[in-house]
Chain A
Amino acid sequence: MRNYWLRKILALPLILLVASFLIFWAVRLLPGDPARLMAGMQADQKAVNAARTRLGLDKPFALQYEIFLRDALHGNLGISIRSHKPVAQEIAERFPYTLALATVSYSLAVGVGITAGILAAIYSGRKLDHLVMVAAISGASIANFWLALMAMNLFAVKLAWVPLLGANSWKSYILPAITLALLPGAVIARMCRGSMLEIIHQDYIRTARAKGLTTTRVYVRHALRNALIPIVTIVGMNFASLLGGAVITETVFNWPGLGRLMVDAVRYRDYATIQGITLLTVTLVIAVNFAVDVFIGMIDPRIRFD
């Protein structure tokens, strides 16, 4: 067991090294010339060439990677060609917005999804179950950018209940958080229902009931705990990827997080920023997966990672 965690921790630098190379290489495969985009459409060739030199793109690939790696080890992810600021600083400024939105929306998705899933399982085959499942299917299939625009038009423009732009108050979180929570909430509700239905027919649940435990205690203490294992895995993975920025939601709501930063960075071939955000996402995915493993071990002590 201890070896497992040790191996996992020791593998981290290696994974990051391989990931950094792949990211660095893949970014340069993108068609489009960052020097031209930086100089602008009306700039002449001299200005474009000068921009290329300033970006260091005239150097051989291996040398560019070496410089990137050396700087990254010193915490320097390069300078953004869009903002002329250090990428690390840019990410540090934007990440709190993404983290806050991801946390609020995932809390919403997990809270509502699990509750709805349990209720659907308890009332399986009855009206409430059907209602939850229709809502879940709708939530999973609806295009969230469309829903976002409709909600913005109604609640921000027509009714003026919530602000249309910015991330300045708790009200600013309402629409983006709901939009972002919709798909994971629907998935969690469906998974929770399926998992619960499977578990509540197990012998140990019958035993728990026979012992005279209350229904709530049976469901929450005995059934849910076991039903949570696949849900925690899915939630963990999705949450980690969301920490790299919710691209569509952040763009539609003008949310100043990493997702919008990434869209701008790709649009302008801001290599340093793309690399920085992707590297952060990789790190977060590894870290969250690690946390998920720990958490699953806590939920079900029988699980062993050897």
Chain B
Amino acid sequence: MALASAILVSGVVGCGPPPPPESRITIMQLEAPLTMDPADHTASLTMDVLDPMYECLVRFDQNLDVVPSLATKWSVDASGTKWTIELRKGVRFHDGTAFDAQAVVDSFNRLLDPDRGLAAASRVRAIVKLVTANGPNTVVFTLASSYASFPRVLAVTPIVSSRAEKQGKLARQAVGTGPYRFVEWKTGEYVLEERNEQYWGPLPAVKQLKWIWTSEPVLMNMSVLAGAADIVNPLPPIFAEALSRNRKVKTIAGEEARVFWVALNTKSKPLDDIRVRQALNYATDREALVRTQLRGFGTPANSPLAPADFAYDPQTRGYPYDPERARALLAKAGYGNGFAIKIAVQEADAQLVEALQGMWAQIHVDLKIDRMENGVFSQAIFGSPQQKAQQGIDCVFASWASDNTDPDYQLNPLYRSTEWSPGGANLGFYANPHLDVLLESAAAELNVEKRKALYREAQQTISDDAPHVLLYYARDIAAQHLGSVPIPVRLLPGGRVEFDASSPQMPVYGPTKVGQGP
């Protein structure tokens, strides 16, 4: 979301000549947008398409810190529950209506409306109790309880035109305040956006953005090579490795923001035994996985938080590869002769799980792979404990990237005992009352250092309990055709592409050696 205002500022510094005024860039993604309504989806690739057209009250800067966007300043009272936001004046939506406090109230109220059931509403609903306008340019948010990361929630909640919302247009037509305005969504082919000449900030250099998509990674690879697409995102590591040696193409890797893991069903035998779960962790050669599966575009994981997260603790003790120790733990737990478990995995990730199968076979664990098509998988992983028991699913392969790089949005939905699937994303039914208290306290703590300390403890607690086998942190990868419009590109956490012409020093990563950070 942040890119909305950061996007394509004219007068590019240090990255070649600025693009011609009539220029267009074509971005190819691996998935079509689901909607033009930013509140009715949770897909990062849909957000990519919408980002240039919408803005939030605040945004992330280059260092992923929160800076003003549609809001100019904000403050919080001592209780941490009342946030007062001053709005930017003179901003208009693409349909000509004024951006004001009422528009912000309307944008949040539709999220808070339980009858609307908008897909992206859950985060706001859990935090915000009331939104009121205090004059035309001030909004007051009353939270249910203190929530330190509230600005980070604001940074991923776009403000929409109240008029377009009332007209019921938003599913098909984006109406925001961003530097690009919606032109056309031809469902099977493209979304076209054009520079918003009335934009309140610096005008973008590129006139048109065209978003296209395919479900075939090999076509993305060919498209960026042929210049049929200026940017392709996301690119599988196997293509990225080859493209990084090609002079026509630049590969762009984001920060390590996506965590991959195997969620273990802590309610099913023998995974209810902590020693067994720890044994599986010790039996996993993460460095080999990074080398073979990610082609170096990532690092082994030691914590359930990703390095891109400000609260990530590199000192969290993980599980080094130690099959001997794994065997000893299994013997202690009474499973010296091994056992069989079933994992649910999407077809596209099956190769990774096959690698795990080989590793775990060394400790006599027979990992049976249930390859599933996307729709079947999404239903299976969100099964209740009873459903998973019926289907015999002992573990699932999953990943998560918090789009606002906030530890609460990474740890709360995945590990809190109130978030068991199908209601939440705690897929292995993990429960630790001490962790629940830690997560609740950390979310409310306004002091950054104290908050970090609480999350440090939470990371270690989760790691010790081993409700999962943490695998690695992957970098999202995009590629840019170098014959195209010369603008710097970077990837935001969650794999969203940002073309930010305001910064000449975009991080461009190639494959890294295993174990090294960026």
Residues of A within 8 A of B (CB): 30-34, 36-51, 53-54, 80, 82-85, 90, 93-94, 97, 149, 152-153, 156-157, 160, 163-166, 251-252, 254, 256-257, 260-261, 263-264, 266-269
CB nearest neighbor in A for B219: A254
Please, which residue of chain A has its CB at the minimum distance from the CB of B214? A254
Residues in B whose Cβ lies below 8 Å from that of A30 = 375
In this complex, what residue of B is CB-closest to A53? B117
Contacts of B189 in A (CB 8 A): 166, 256
Chain A proximity mask over B199-227: 1 for CB below 8 Å, otherwise 0 = 00000000000001011101100110110
B358 to chain A, nearest CB (A): 28
Known contacts A50-B116, A53-B117, A157-B222: A93-B187 contact under CB 8 Å: yes
Find chain A residues with CB under 8 A from B42 CB: 39-43
- Among B32, B118, B218, B400, point to the contact of A82 (Cβ < 8 A): B32
Residue of B nearest to A48 (CB): B422
Give the contact stretch, choosing among B62-70, B267-275, B285-293, B376-384: B376-384
Q: A32-B378, A165-B212, A266-B375 are in contact. List 13 more A-B contacts (CB 8 A).
A: A32-B373, A33-B382, A36-B378, A36-B382, A38-B119, A39-B42, A46-B121, A47-B121, A53-B117, A93-B186, A149-B218, A160-B226, A267-B374
Q: Give A94 to B125 CA distance when docked, in angstroms.
A: 39
Closest to B403 in A: A42
In the bound complex, how far is the Cα of B216 from the Cα of A267, in angstroms? Answer: 13
- Distance, CA A54 to CA B400, complexed state (A): 27
Q: Are B216 and A31 in contact (CB under 8 A)?
A: no
Closest 7 CB pairs of A and B: A50-B117, A32-B375, A40-B42, A256-B188, A44-B122, A84-B171, A42-B42
Chain A hits for B422, CB < 8 A: 45, 48
Q: How far is the CB of B282 from chain A (nearest CB, A)?
A: 29
Question: Which one, A36, A43, A94, A266, contacts B188 given CB within 8 A?
Answer: A94
Please tell me if the beta carbons of A163 and B228 are within 8 angstroms of each other in the complex.
yes
Question: Contact: A164 with B228, CB < 8 Å?
Answer: yes
Q: Report chain B residues within 8 Å CB of A93.
A: 186-188
* Inter-chain contact B375/A45, CB cutoff 8 Å: no
Could you tell me if A47 and B117 are in contact, using CB atoms closer than 8 angstroms? yes
User: Is B172 an interface residue when CB atoms closer than 8 A count as contact?
Assistant: yes
14 A-B contact pairs sorted by A residue (CB < 8 Å):
A32-B375, A33-B375, A33-B379, A40-B119, A42-B425, A44-B424, A47-B119, A48-B422, A51-B117, A82-B34, A84-B35, A93-B186, A164-B219, A264-B215
Residue B120 at the chain A interface, CB threshold 8 Å: yes
Task: Please determine whether A43 and B172 come into contact, CB atoms closer than 8 angstroms.
Answer: no
Q: B121 near A36 (CB under 8 angstroms)? A: no
Question: How far is B98's CA from A228's CA once the two chains are assembled, in angstroms?
Answer: 69
- What is the CA–CA distance of A3 and B172 in the complex, to the nearest angstrom? 49
| Alpha-carbon distance A149/B225, docked complex (angstroms) | 14
Taking the closest CB of chain A, its distance from the CB of B254, in whole angstroms, is 18
Write out the residue numbers on chain A whose beta carbons fall within 8 Å of the beta carbon of B507.
Answer: none
Q: Which of A43, A54, A80, A94 has the most CB of B within 10 A?
A: A43
Nearest CB in chain A to that of B37: its residue? A84
A138 to chain B minimum Cβ distance, whole angstroms, is 23
Q: How far is the CA of A251 from the CA of B498 in the complex (A)?
A: 27
Minimum distance in angstroms from B246 CB to a CB of chain A: 11
Is B446 located at the chain interface by the 8 A CB criterion? Answer: no
Q: Give, as a whole number of angstroms, the nearest-CB distance from A249 to chain B.
A: 12
Determine if B222 and A153 form an interchain contact, defined as CB atoms under 8 angstroms apart.
Answer: yes
B136 at interface, CB cutoff 8 A = no
| Given A256-B188, A260-B188; A43-B119 close (CB under 8 Å) | yes
Contacts of B114 in A (CB 8 A): 46
Q: Which of B125, B188, B222, B378 contacts A164 (CB 8 A)?
A: B222
With the chains together, A260 CA to B375 CA distance in Å? 17
- CB neighbours of B350 from chain A (8 A): none
> A152 with B117: in contact, given A33-B379, A165-B212, A256-B189 (CB under 8 Å)?
no
A54 contacts B117, CB within 8 Å?
yes
Known pairs A82-B34, A83-B187, A263-B215; A152 contacts B222 (CB<8 A): yes
Within 8 A of A (CB), among B84-120: 114-120
Residues of B within 8 A of A254 (CB): 212, 214, 216, 219
Q: Which of B122, B185, B376, B400 contacts A46 (CB 8 A)?
A: B122
Tell me the complex Cα distance, A113–B318, Å: 64
- Give the residue name and chain of the B residue nearest to A253 (CB): B219
Alpha-carbon distance between A30 and B185 when the two chains are bound, in angstroms: 29
Give the Cβ gap from B495 to chain A, nearest Cβ, in Å: 13
Question: B423 at the A/B interface (Cβ < 8 Å)?
Answer: yes
The answer, yes or no, to whether B41 is at the interface (CB within 8 Å) is yes
Q: When the two chains form their complex, are residues A252 and B122 in contact, meaning their CB atoms are under 8 A apart?
A: no
Task: Name the CB-closest residue of B to A145.
Answer: B216
Asked if A252 and B219 sit within 8 Å, CB to CB, the answer is yes
Distance to closest chain B CB from A149 (angstroms): 6
B176 to A: closest C-beta gap in Å: 17
| Residue of A41, A163, A264, A266 with most partner-chain B CB within 10 A | A41
Nearest CB of A to B28, in Å: 8
Which of A31, A44, A82, A84 is close to B423, meaning CB atoms less than 8 Å apart? A44
> How many whole Å from B127's CB to the nearest CB in chain A?
13
Q: What chain B residues lie within 8 Å of A39 (beta carbons)?
A: 41-42, 119
Minimum CB–CB distance from B494 to chain A (whole Å) comes to 10
With both chains docked as a complex, state the minimum distance between the C-beta of B153 and any C-beta of chain A, in angstroms.
Answer: 14
A46 to B125, CA, bound (A): 11
Q: Which of B34, B188, B222 contacts A156 (CB 8 A)?
A: B222
Q: How far is the CA of A93 from the CA of B219 in the complex (A)?
A: 23
B518 at the interface (CB under 8 A from A): no
Q: Which residues of B contact A166 (CB under 8 A)?
A: 189
Residues in B neighbouring A48, C-beta threshold 8 A: 422
Minimum Cβ distance to chain A for residue B283 (Å)? 28
A264 partner residues in chain B, CB cutoff 8 A: 32, 215
B43:A40 contact, CB within 8 angstroms: yes
CA A7 to CA B316, docked complex, whole Å: 77
Nearest chain B CB to A191 CB, angstrom units: 33
- Inter-subunit contact A49/B117 (CB<8 Å): yes
Q: Which residues of A contact B375 (CB under 8 A)?
A: 30-34, 37, 266-269
B336 at the interface (CB under 8 A from A): no
| Across-interface contacts of A41 in B (CB, < 8 A) | 42, 378, 425
Contacts of A47 in B (CB 8 A): 117-122
